[in-house]
Chain A
Amino acid sequence: MSFDLALRATEVLLALAILQHSAEHLVAPMAERRLFIPRMALAVLVLAGVGAWAVWALWLWGLVILRRFDGPYNGGSDKMTLLVLTCVALVYLAPTPRWQEMALAYLAVQLTLSYFVSGWIKVINPTWRSGEALCDVFRYSAYPVSRNLRGFANWPGLLFVASWAVMGLELVFPLTLLHPNALIVGLALCALFHISNACFFGLNRFVWAWISAFPSLIWFQDRIL
C-alpha cells in the first residue's frame, strides 16, 4: 500500500469512527450536543478530503472535548482515536516526506504494541494464565452487557481456552509483520476480537477506533519488508 493511499484510508476510517462516536452524543443534553455537532461537521470535512486545516481543527476540538470530560469519555477508544488523529495531523505538519513517514510509522508501531503489550501483561499474570481473570470479568466486572452473559463464569474450561486464544493472538501479532498474508489474517482476527468485545461488553467504539489504524500498519509492513 502506498503512503498516500494509507494516509487517505486512515483519514476516511478515522472520520467515520469520529462520526459514529459523536452521533451517540446527539441524544445527550443540549450542552453536550453543542460539543459534538461541530466535531461531526469537521469529521465530514476530513471525510471529504478538504485538507490539513480540517484535520488540525478536529484535533484541537478533540482537546476541548478531553477537557470537558476531564479525560477520555470512552477510555481506550478515545485515546486511540486521539492518537490516530495526532499522527495524521503530524503528517500534514511534517516538513519532509521522511518525517511524514515517521508520523504514520509511529501509529503503526503503537498499533502493534497495543496488542503485544496487552498480551504480555496478561500472560505474566497467573490469574490470566489459569483463566480465572476472564471468569471474574464475566462474574462481577461492570462489562457484560446482560445478566445472562454472567453465566459464562460457570464455564471455566471454555474461558481458559478463550483466555489463551486472546493472549496468543495478542502475543504473536508482531510476527504477522513478517508476511503480507499473515498480516491480513492477523488484522482480520483482531477485528473479530474487537467485534466480540463489542457484543459481550458493549465496547463498540473500540472496533472503529482500532480499525482506523489498520491501513498505517499495512503500509508500514510494505515499507519495511
Chain B
Amino acid sequence: MFRTIGLLLPALIPSWRFFKTVAPSPRIHYRLDGGDWQPVRPRPQSVSFARMMRRMLWNPRRNEELFLVTLSERLVEAPNAFCVNEINARVARIVGAPRGASLQFRLTFITREEGQIVNYDLFQSEPWVLP
C-alpha cells in the first residue's frame, strides 16, 4: 500500500523537471555463453519521415527501449532484483536467446567530462541461464 502511494505521488504532484541536465546515458550490451558483447537493438542509420509519422500512433519497440533506459538508470541508482530480472527477460526476448543459453548484460553510461565524451561500465549482471 505505502509502495503504491509512493509510486503514485510523483504523478499527482509532479516536479516537471524535464532535462534539467543531460544525465549520463545508458547503453545495454549483452553476451550469450560468454561470447562477444553486442549492443541490444542498435539504432538504425536513419528513420524516414513517413515512419516517424506512423510511430506517432504505433511505437512499441521504441517505448520498450525507453523503458530499458529507465530500468538501467534505476538499477545503477539502487541495485535491485526487479530491474535485473526485467532487463534479463526483455533482452532475452529481443535478441532471441535460446533456452539453456547463459545471458549476461552490461550497462555502459556515456557522459561528458571536461569537454570529452567518456564511457563507464557501471553494472554487469551475473550469468542467467534461460529456462
Contact, CB under 8 Å: A136 / B59: no
B14 within 8 Å of A (CB atoms) = yes
Proximity string of chain A (103-114) to chain B, C-beta cutoff 8 Å, 1 when within and 0 when not: 000000010011
Given contacts A23-B58, A141-B25, contact A146 B43 (CB under 8 A): yes
Which residues of chain A have C-beta atoms less than 8 A from B14's C-beta?
Answer: 76, 79-80, 83, 110, 113-114
Binding site for A on B (CB under 8 A): 3-4, 7-8, 10-12, 14-22, 25-27, 43-47, 49, 52-53, 55-60, 62-67, 69-70, 74, 82-83, 86, 93, 110-112, 117
B52 to chain A, nearest CB (A): 4
Q: How large is the interface on A (under 10, 10 to 19, 20 to 34, 35 or more residues)?
A: 35 or more
Contact, CB under 8 Å: B20 / A121: yes
Q: Tell me the interface secondary structure of chain A in the complex.
A: helix
Contact, CB under 8 Å: A127 / B21: yes
Contact, CB under 8 Å: B16 / A136: no
Which residues of chain A have C-beta atoms less than 8 A from B69's C-beta?
Answer: 142
A133-192, CB < 8 A from B: 133, 136-137, 139-142, 144-149
Given pairs A67-B3, A199-B53, A202-B65, 14 additional interface contacts (CB within 8 A): A63-B4, A67-B4, A69-B86, A70-B82, A73-B63, A73-B70, A74-B63, A74-B67, A82-B8, A121-B17, A145-B44, A148-B46, A149-B47, A202-B66
Contact, CB under 8 Å: B45 / A148: yes
Given contacts A67-B7, A136-B22, contact A204 B55 (CB under 8 A): yes
Which residues of chain B have C-beta atoms less than 8 A from A69's C-beta?
Answer: 67, 86
A39 within 8 Å of B (CB atoms) = no
B78 to chain A, nearest CB (A): 11
A202 CA / B43 CA spacing, docked (Å)? 12
A205 CA / B58 CA spacing, docked (Å)? 9
Given contacts A20-B57, A140-B112, contact A75 B11 (CB under 8 A): no
Given contacts A28-B60, A113-B16, A137-B19, contact A202 B7 (CB under 8 A): no
A29 within 8 Å of B (CB atoms) = yes
Given contacts A70-B7, A139-B117, contact A122 B59 (CB under 8 A): no
Q: Which among B11, B44, B60, B67 is the interface contact of A82 at CB below 8 angstroms?
A: B11
The chain A residue with its CB closest to the CB of B47 is: A146
Contact, CB under 8 Å: A142 / B26: yes
8 tightest CB-CB pairs across the interface, nearest first?
A202-B62, A24-B60, A117-B16, A79-B11, A82-B11, A136-B22, A199-B52, A148-B46
Contact, CB under 8 Å: A76 / B8: no
Which residues of chain B have C-beta atoms less than 8 A from A141's C-beta?
Answer: 22, 25
Which residues of chain B have C-beta atoms less than 8 A from A70's C-beta?
Answer: 7, 74, 82-83
Contact, CB under 8 Å: B58 / A24: yes
Proximity string of chain A (195-225) to chain B, C-beta cutoff 8 Å, 1 when within and 0 when not: 1001100111101000000000000000000
Which residues of chain B have C-beta atoms less than 8 A from A29's C-beta?
Answer: 93
A220 CA / B30 CA spacing, docked (Å)? 50
